[in-house]
């Protein structure tokens, strides 16, 4: 048995001590998360009960917005993980400090910028006279101005850029737990680089990849500014339904119903991911 520290202080907290130390966080969660969500859920239940939620799915525009929100979120999640994985692995491996600093700067820059500023920057880049359009004409891919603005692709590109830090950071922690000697051993036994990735890195980091995807997907469900500004009328996101119910129709019950459905989808994904990954595996994957 390990000796107790000579000063009499025990670093292992008991239940009461842990509860006292975590009380500020618990109070904040109750006030800023649990209470608002419970109020949102109570509004439609008091107005029409579960029939209010059933009526949401009877409106084709609502169903289309929900499908679009989930589809865009899945696409952004896939793109974010695909782009974040090689960046996280590069940062995890030994190499040039200068090069790593540049990568970290590029990855973390979206976190330091206001979402509105980033979105309007993408309006300039993706517009008919933006950088992409000019480059396409210069390289003779097209003879006329083209633009991705007000298309689903504009929303996807901007959201992937915003979500990249949320993909790189947890994957970096996940990859840090993988012994790089295992990859070298696989290559020394004849495995190609792709074979080493598929047989060593992916199996050992699968839990972390799925956990990262869950984090990115749930955050993507709640996007508002990017779909509205870059997608316009072509992006029937759930958040735009909430905006319409609140500020156009002044229907607080309808807005609460939309929000409750979106919250239920996010909660379902989190519960499903926790069940698939397991609590201990998820904890190890995220450090």
What are the extents of the domains in the chain?
A: 46-285
| pLDDT lower than 50: segments of the chain | 1-2
Q: For residue 234, what pLDDT is reported?
A: 62
Q: For residue 4, what pLDDT is reported?
A: 53
Q: For residue 162, what pLDDT is reported?
A: 92
DSSP the chain: -PPPPTTS--SS--HHHHHHHHHHHHHHHIIIIIHHHHHHHHHHHHHHTHHHHHHHTTSHHHHHHHHHHHHHHHHHHHHHHHHHHHHHHHHHS---HHHHHHHHHHHHHHHHS-HHHHHHHHHHHHSTTSHHHHHHHHTTS-SS----TTSHHHHHHHHHHHHHHHHHHHHHHHHHTS-HHHHHHHHHTT--HHHHIIIIIHHHHHHHHHHHHHHHHHHHHT--HHIIIIIGGG---HHHHHHHHHHTS--HHHHHHHHHHHHHHHHHHHHHHHHHH-HHHHHHHT-
Q: For residue 141, what pLDDT is reported?
A: 66
Classified by CATH at the fold level, domain 46-285 comes out as MetI-like fold (1.10.3720)
Q: For residue 143, what pLDDT is reported?
A: 64
Q: For residue 37, what pLDDT is reported?
A: 87
User: pTM of the prediction?
Assistant: 0.83
Q: For residue 217, what pLDDT is reported?
A: 95
d(CA 244, CA 262): 15
């Amino acid at each position: 048995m390990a000796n107790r520290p000579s000063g009499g202080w025990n670093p292992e907290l008991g239940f009461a001590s842990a509860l006292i130390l975590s009380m500020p966080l618990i109070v904040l969660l109750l006030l800023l998360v649990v209470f608002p969500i419970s109020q949102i859920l109570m509004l439609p239940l008091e107005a029409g009960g579960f029939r209010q939620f059933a009526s949401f799915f009877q409106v084709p525009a609502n169903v289309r917005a929900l499908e679009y929100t989930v589809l865009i979120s899945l696409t952004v999640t896939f793109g974010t993980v695909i782009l974040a994985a090689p960046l996280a692995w590069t940062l995890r491996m030994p190499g040039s400090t200068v090069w790593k600093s540049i990568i970290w700067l590029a990855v973390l820059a979206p976190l330091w910028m206001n979402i509105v500023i980033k979105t309007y920057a993408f309006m300039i880049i993706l517009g008919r006279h933006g950088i992409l359009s000019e480059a396409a004409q210069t390289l003779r891919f097209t003879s006329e101005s083209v633009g991705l603005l007000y298309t689903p692709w504009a929303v996807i590109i901007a959201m992937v850029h915003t979500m990249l830090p949320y993909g790189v950071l947890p994957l970096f922690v996940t990859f840090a737990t993988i012994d790089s000697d295992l990859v070298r051993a696989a290559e020394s036994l004849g495995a190609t680089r792709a074979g080493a990735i598929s047989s060593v890195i992916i199996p050992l980091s699968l839990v972390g990849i799925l956990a990262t995807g869950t984090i990115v997907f749930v955050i993507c469900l709640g996007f508002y500014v990017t779909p509205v500004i870059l997608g316009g009328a072509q992006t029937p996101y759930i958040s735009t339904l909430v905006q319409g119910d609140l500020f156009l129709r002044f229907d607080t019950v309808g807005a609460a119903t939309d929000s409750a459905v979106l919250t239920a989808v996010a909660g379902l994904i989190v519960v499903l991911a926790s069940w698939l990954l397991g609590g201990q595996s998820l904890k190890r994957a995220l450090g």
